[in-house]
């Protein structure tokens, strides 16, 4: 992620409609699948640490990120933090009951390798919650600025999770009601910039009345997201488990590459 984004996220994470909508959805799914006492929780790629106070209500929550800017922000928030890299997590096997990776795996070249490493530190039967951006055709300067490697389709993410040794409990698009607006905005920005605009984030500040409307639209669709498999949306959420049987996942590189397609 571009270093400039950390300060922006720190400023917006507790007020911006997108962050608030995602947070509510993730916490609802965590309650549904893990209950209110989830145990040991790792927020992988925690960024500025905005999720950690809320995850702490479910158990002992720890953030991990590789960026110095993230370490600074988490210190400012006063939340537990460890600096480290997802490719080689500094924890023993089966150290956590829950791992969250919220808009994280799209940042790394080897998403299959990251998911296997997460599986290693999850206890058997442990829970993984993942969110990712949807649809490669929505690629924009926002993705460039965020150092994304890819965007996903629902079926693609499902294959990837299964190939890396998880049992998928829930997999659906979300941010569905605002999907037409997202498509229009991305198309408008591509046309207006003509490919010459510098990379920039779409998560900018919006006037408070609009921010409130967008937040309630995103929150308003969540009863549907929680009960149904949505046919499309700007993002995807997956809930998966490490199988209770401790059978190691053997994933050939070709399989992992096929899962990403």
CATH number (domain holding residue 58): 3.40.50.150
Mean pLDDT of 136-150: 90
Per-residue pLDDT at 67: 93
Q: At what angle do helices 154-163 and 111-121 cross, to 10 degrees?
A: 50
> Left if phi > 0, otherwise alpha if psi is -120 to 50, otherwise beta: which for 153?
beta
Q: Tell me the pLDDT band of 54, cut-offs 50, 70 and 90.
A: very high
Provide the percentage of residues in the chain whose pLDDT is more than 70: 88
Q: Tell me the pLDDT band of 75, cut-offs 50, 70 and 90.
A: very high
Per-residue pLDDT at 196: 56
168 pLDDT higher than 80: yes
Over the stretch 173-212, which tens digit does the pLDDT of each residue have?
A: 999 999 999 888 777 766 665 555 555 566 777 899 999 9
Provide the percentage of residues in the chain whose pLDDT is more than 90: 77
DSSP helix/strand/coil, 36: coil
Per-residue pLDDT at 189: 66
Q: Is residue 130 part of a domain?
A: yes
Q: Is residue 257 part of a domain?
A: no
Per-residue pLDDT at 192: 60
230 pLDDT higher than 70: yes
Beta bridge partners of 50: none
Beta bridge partners of 101: 130
Give residue 213's domain range.
Answer: 3-244
- Of 93, 252, 74, 233, nearest in space to 152 by CA: 233
Indicate the length of the chain as a whole number: 261
Q: Is residue 261 part of a domain?
A: no
Which sign does the torsion angle of CA 177, 179, 180, 184 carry? positive
Decide: 117 and 88 in contact? Cβ < 8 Å: yes
Q: Is residue 16 part of a domain?
A: yes
Over the stretch 6-32, which tens digit does the pLDDT of each residue have?
A: 888 999 999 999 999 999 999 999 999
Q: Is residue 35 part of a domain?
A: yes
Per-residue pLDDT at 200: 59
List phi, psi (to 5°) of 108.
-105, 145
Number of structural domains in the chain: 1
Decide: 51 and 27 in contact? Cβ < 8 Å: no
172 pLDDT higher than 50: yes
Q: Is residue 253 part of a domain?
A: no
- Of 119, 98, 111, nearest in space to 156 by CA: 111
104 Cβ partners below 8 Å, 6+ apart? Answer: 44, 45, 86, 114, 130
Mean pLDDT of the chain: 90
Over the stretch 100-119, which tens digit does the pLDDT of each residue have?
A: 999 999 999 999 999 999 99
63 pLDDT higher than 60: yes
Q: What are the structure tokens assigned to 101, written together? A: 């990776």
Q: Is residue 256 part of a domain?
A: no
Q: Is residue 136 part of a domain?
A: yes
257 pLDDT higher than 90: no
Per-residue pLDDT at 20: 96
Q: How far is it, in rounded angstroms, from Cα 166 to Cα 158?
A: 9
Q: Tell me the pLDDT band of 4, cut-offs 50, 70 and 90.
A: confident
């Amino acid at each position: 992620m571009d270093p400039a984004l950390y300060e922006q996220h720190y400023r917006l994470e507790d007020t911006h409609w997108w962050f608030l909508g995602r947070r509510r959805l993730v916490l609802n799914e965590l309650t549904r699948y893990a209950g209110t006492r989830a145990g040991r929780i790792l927020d992988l790629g925690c960024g500025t640490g905005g999720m950690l106070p809320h995850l702490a209500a479910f158990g002992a929550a720890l953030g991990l990120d590789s960026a110095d800017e993230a370490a600074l922000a988490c210190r400012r928030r006063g939340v537990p933090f460890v600096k480290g890299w997802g490719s080689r997590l500094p924890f023993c096997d089966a150290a956590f009951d829950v791992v969250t990776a919220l808009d994280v795996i799209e940042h790394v070249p080897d998403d299959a390798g990251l998911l296997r490493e997460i599986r290693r530190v999850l206890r058997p039967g442990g829970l993984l919650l993942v969110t990712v951006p949807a649809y490669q055709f929505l690629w924009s300067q926002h993705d460039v600025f965020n150092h994304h490697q890819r965007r996903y389709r629902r079926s693609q993410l499902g294959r990837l999770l299964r190939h890396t040794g998880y049992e998928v409990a829930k997999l659906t698009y979300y941010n569905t009601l605002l999907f037409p607006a997202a498509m229009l905005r991305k198309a408008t920005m591509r046309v207006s910039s003509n490919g010459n605009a510098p990379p920039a984030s779409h998560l900018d500040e919006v006037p408070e009345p609009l921010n409130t409307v967008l937040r309630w639209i995103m929150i308003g669709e969540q009863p549907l997201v929680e009960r149904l498999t949505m046919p499309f949306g700007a993002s995807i959420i997956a809930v998966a488990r490490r199988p209770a049987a401790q059978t190691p996942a053997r994933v050939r590189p070709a399989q992992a590459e096929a899962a990403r397609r």
